[in-house]
Amino acid sequence: MTSPTAPRTATVIGCGTRGLAVAFALRGAGAQVQLLDRDPRVVARAQELGAGSLWLPGLPAADVVVVATPAATVVDVLYEAQARGLGRAYTDIAATDTKEAVAAEARLRGCDLLGYVPGNPLIDPGHVPHRPTTAANGPFTGRIWILCPYQDADPTATAAVDALVRLCGAHRRDLTPAQHDRAVAALTHTPTPGVAAPAGCPSGPLRPARSGPDGRAGTAEQPRR
């Protein structure tokens, strides 16, 4: 099986530190990036830095939509983005140890879980770029990027998010939301040198899984809808 095609178009919602990091990685790989943020001044600054262009109504659905807002707003933003048909696949990158609560709220809210793959790249907050990067020199290079795909998630959506992770130079690791929360909580209280080191791989549950025949990380227990 061939590797998933890297996204050619993407919409990043939320132009804070993590949103900019993803936008820069996408731009560095040649993708067209559209930007959305509740504060027009933040979008304008992101444009000045070369992170992408302002999203405008009428644009075709993006290959992938990245929700880069705080965890407390992820579900609201996701629901609205899906209702507006902004993309063909959706993910979030909220740095939180409450993915299980986010996943449950998304289910209750009526979000399209088939096209949504929760995520959390474990990046060093002190390593934030201010220009487009590549998979070889970005803040995600060699890092763990946790995905929590639903058991019956659309394979096309999962492949699109997997391609995003690869494009950013990160290592995909599949966990259930509950496993994610326990692992991240442990990291928060007990720093793991491997996570902080750009080229390192953390031990325990966050070690990058061995790639399977299709190049994806090894399987993990999948969250159910």
Task: Answer whether residue 35 is part of any domain.
Answer: yes
Task: Answer whether residue 211 is part of any domain.
Answer: no
Taking only the tens place, the pLDDT of each residue in 115-164 is: 999 999 988 666 666 655 655 567 888 899 999 998 888 999 999 999 99
What is the predicted pLDDT for the residue at 140? 86
Owning domain of residue 33: 9-206
DSSP conformation letters of the chain: -PPPPPPSEEEEE--SHHHHHHHHHHHHTT-EEEEE-S-HHHHHHHHHTTS-EE--TTPPPBSEEEE-S-GGGHHHHHHHHHHTT-BSSEEE----S-HHHHHHHHHHHT--GGGEEEEEE---TT---SS---TTTSTTTT-EEEE---TT--HHHHHHHHHHHHHTTPEEEE--HHHHHHHHHHHHHS--HHHHSTT---SGGGSPPPP-TTSPPPP-PPPP-
Number of domains in the chain: 1
Average pLDDT estimate for 195-210 = 40
Average pLDDT estimate for 64-69 = 97
What is the predicted pLDDT for the residue at 196? 38
What is the predicted pLDDT for the residue at 218? 39
Task: Answer whether residue 1 is part of any domain.
Answer: no
> What's the CATH code of the domain at 190?
3.40.50.720
Higher-confidence residue: 221 or 79? 79
Structure confidence at residue 73 as a pLDDT band (50, 70, 90): very high
Average pLDDT estimate for 107-113 = 93
Q: Which of 79-83, 156-160, 214-218 has the lowest mean pLDDT?
A: 214-218
Task: Answer whether residue 191 is part of any domain.
Answer: yes
Task: Answer whether residue 108 is part of any domain.
Answer: yes
**Residue 51 in this model has a pLDDT that exceeds 60:** yes
